[in-house]
Amino acid sequence: MMRFVHVTDIHAVTTAEECGAIYGVSVDPKRLFLGVARKIISLRPEFVAVTGDIAAMAEKSYVDRVLCWYLTFKEFFIKPLERNGIKVFTIPGNHDINKAFGLDVYRMIFGEENYYVDFNGTRLIFVTPKIKARKCKPSDELLEWLSKIIKPNSLLFSHYPLSLWKRKEDVIGILDGEINGFFSGHLHRMSLPLGGDFPRCKLLPFQEAGGIGGEMKEP
């Protein structure tokens, strides 16, 4: 059985002062991220999946500030995990997209937003449909890509839960019977609804995870 950790909605900042100004709580984000990383290391997972909103608010910030947020998260969360042999996979969320530079800063630090990895016999699919208002809309190209790379017993990771996807029926037609789990964030709540949209996937888990940075409390 594969053992992994799913985290989401980091909303990273760089200093306690910045945290206080944005969230109203003066928590040292470096200490927070390192503390969470140490807890994850103690669980000895095979990998960690981070499903978006890594930046506090890239959509309202300049490049250098967003870069600092990403580098803080990478240095104090991702690198400690990787030094302990734990792979970390990321995708962006709506707060990682800026109208001026899009996902350029995200890509520079973390890589592409749509990809898959065959990990210990399981295909892990990381997908980012186009963010549109409060929902996301997969393009024809993205759906074609999904239909080509999907394989039985895949796990799918996306920032938005399926309930907020447009073209939902098209997505279900591709994924039904092929995936063992759908993991998302965005809503800042912890839930694990089962089954529902995928009649051929019995008791399929949909995990909507709460945010690390959304709470901004010391570990």
Per residue in 36-73, pLDDT tens?
999 999 999 999 999 999 999 888 889 999 999 999 99
Smallest Cα–Cα separation from 69: which of 114, 24, 108?
108
d(CA 162, CA 206): 9
Number of domains in the chain: 1
Residue 219 lies in a domain: no
Residue 145 lies in a domain: yes
Helices (H), ranges, 58-206: 63-73, 79-83, 104-110, 140-149, 168-175
pLDDT for the residue 2: 82
Residue 217 lies in a domain: no
pLDDT for 102 beyond 80: yes
111-147 pLDDT, tens digit each? 999 999 999 999 999 999 987 667 788 999 999 999 9
217 vs 14, residue with greater confidence: 14
207 forms beta bridges with 183
Residue 115 lies in a domain: yes
Structure tokens belonging to residue 118: 């065959």
Q: What is the pTM of this model?
A: 0.88
pLDDT for the residue 145: 96
Task: Yes or no: say if 139 and 170 are a contact pair by the CB < 8 Å rule.
Answer: no
**CATH code, domain carrying 143:** 3.60.21.10
141-200 pLDDT, tens digit each? 999 999 999 999 899 999 988 888 888 889 888 988 888 888 898 877 665 554 556 555
Per-residue b or e along 5-31, where b marks 16 or more CB atoms closer than 10 Å to that residue's CB: bbbbbbbbbbebebbeeebeeebbbbe
Task: Yes or no: say if 126 and 60 are a contact pair by the CB < 8 Å rule.
Answer: no
pLDDT for the residue 219: 35
Task: Yes or no: say if 93 and 53 are a contact pair by the CB < 8 Å rule.
Answer: yes
Task: Yes or no: say if 175 and 203 are a contact pair by the CB < 8 Å rule.
Answer: no
pLDDT for 218 beyond 60: no
As a whole number, mean pLDDT of residues 98-120 equals 94
pLDDT for 110 beyond 70: yes
Residue 218 lies in a domain: no
Residue 189 lies in a domain: yes
d(CA 53, CA 213): 9
Amino acid present at 37: A
pLDDT for 81 beyond 90: yes
Residue 19: its H or E element: helix 16-23
Residue 120 lies in a domain: yes
Q: Which domain holds residue 22?
A: 4-208
Phi-psi region of 80 (alpha: psi -120 to 50; beta: other; left: phi over 0): alpha
Residue 216 lies in a domain: no
pLDDT for 201 beyond 70: no
